[in-house]
Chain A
Amino acid sequence: MSSSWPLWEVFVRGKRGLNHVHVGSLHAPDAEMAVRNARDVYTRRNEGVSIWVVPAAAITASSPDEKDPFFEPSGDKVYRHPTFYEIPEDVPHL
């Protein structure tokens, strides 16, 4: 049964210069088969130039239940954004 094979998360780089992006998952007995299956399932139409597969069990994720407090520290730091600063209009190149 396929579900006795581990689950792999699949990431595809669409073209050179872009990040690998998560596209989905699949089951495969080992990493090599996971890459081959990912090619057939997720890149049938030139969607990628590079594939990463990662055992789903190896991923640690932040918890959705605490997403507000977890990301809260960046919420009140408006001075991290360039638009926080007022600069006279006649100052060039800034």
Chain B
Amino acid sequence: MDLEAQFERTVAAEQRVEPRDWMPDGYRKTLIRQIAQHAHSEIIGMQPEGNWISRAPSLRRKAILLAKVQDEAGHGLYLYAATETLGADRGELTEKLISGRQKYSSIFNYPTLSYADVGVIGWLVDGAAICNQVPLCRTSYGPYARAMIRICKEESFHQRQGYELLLTMMSGTDAQRAMVQESVNRWWWPSLMMFGPPDAESSNTEQSMKWRIKRNTNDELRQKFVDMTVPQARKLGVTLPDPELKWNPERGHHDFGQPDWDEFWQVVGGNGPTNKQRVEHRRKAHEDGEWVRAAAAAHAAKHTAREGVA
């Protein structure tokens, strides 16, 4: 049997493809692109919430937020490690991120203007991420699937801490409730955009579904997210800012309006509110860390030399 047929058979049988197996070039390239974009999103995603660590309202909230941002760094590392099993070089991927040649999720190009944003990001943004990521635990590439299993376990903490934070604020003063609603108003539409463009315009979906890299279409996942979120919003006592949002008993799903896709493409194209700031911050952190990397390498080299003598 030729290699391609064997690969197709493995994937069709719901078996996992492992690093040293033969795979089509397109499969490898698609995976590297998707996993790298995902890794970059985790790393850039540290910034909007990191913005509130020093201003968290209590030691408890600060410890939680620190743990969450540390998780994002960990998730980025699991994913970069998965790309390396495909032959990618992590240093090169970082270069591509800070030179703008590879992208990350458009959601992280929006600013965190109030502390309620920490809760809303946990609830809506991490909630949307979970919808996207749970099916990826069954993606056809083994190292990616295993990384996603670890990530999904940890994302559950992220979403619950966000919702709990919002419940606390909603039981506070009118000003605090207004702050939550204002934050929901800003994050709702960008959260829906996280699932990517509508299926009709999504160029990568069909092949990725065939290779079982992707398990659901963008629109399927968006619908699932809306259906999950509506009762949570009701319980919280906030209004989702979509006049078209209502239950459709015939479909057994909620109908809802479309995000502003022109805005989406603007943000993807680099013109979102914080694109420049996010990439610039990452570049600076990378360059400022150079002496640490060099010192660690010099220390290791000195050690090795000494042990060699002994």
Contacts and interface: CB of A to CB of B under 8 A. Distances in A.
A12 B147 CA distance: 15
Given A2-B94, A64-B21, 17 more contacts: A1-B91, A1-B94, A3-B92, A24-B146, A24-B147, A26-B81, A28-B296, A29-B299, A29-B300, A30-B296, A30-B299, A44-B67, A44-B71, A61-B20, A64-B18, A64-B20, A65-B22
A3 B87 CA distance: 12
A49 interface: no
Interface residues of A, number: 22
Interface residues of B, number: 30
Contacts of B18: 64
B297 interface: yes
Nearest to B143: A24
A60 interface: no
Contacts, number: 60
B308 to A, nearest CB: 13
A70 interface: no
A63 B20 contact: yes
- Identify whether the interface residues of A are mostly helix, strand, loop, or mixed: mixed
Nearest to B299: A29
Contacts of B74: 40-41, 44
Nearest to B146: A24
Interface string A13-54: 000000000001111111001000000110011000000000
Given A1-B91, A24-B81, A41-B77, A33 B70 contact: no
A63 B21 CA distance: 9
30 contacts: A1-B94, A2-B94, A2-B293, A3-B90, A3-B91, A4-B91, A24-B143, A25-B84, A25-B85, A26-B77, A27-B90, A28-B296, A29-B296, A29-B297, A30-B299, A30-B300, A30-B303, A33-B296, A41-B74, A41-B77, A41-B78, A44-B67, A44-B70, A44-B71, A44-B74, A45-B154, A61-B20, A63-B20, A64-B21, A65-B22
- Identify whether the interface residues of B are mostly helix, strand, loop, or mixed: helix
Interface string B182-206: 0000000000000000000000000
Nearest to B3: A65
Contact of B304 (A1, A30, A63): A30
B293 A1 contact: yes
A55 B94 CA distance: 22
B70 to A, nearest CB: 7
B89 interface: yes
B70 A5 contact: no
B300 A33 contact: yes
Which 8 pairs from chain A and chain B are nearest by CB? A29-B300, A3-B91, A30-B300, A1-B91, A29-B296, A64-B20, A25-B81, A3-B90
A63 B22 CA distance: 11
B142 to A, nearest CB: 11
A24 to B, nearest CB: 5
Interface string B73-116: 01001100110110001111010000000000000000000000
Contacts of B94: 1-2
A41 B89 CA distance: 19
A29 B300 CA distance: 6
A69 to B, nearest CB: 14
A36 B21 CA distance: 31
Contacts of A1: 91, 94, 293
A61 to B, nearest CB: 7
Contacts of B147: 24
Residue of B18, B22, B90, B92 with most chain A CB atoms under a 10 A cut-off: B90
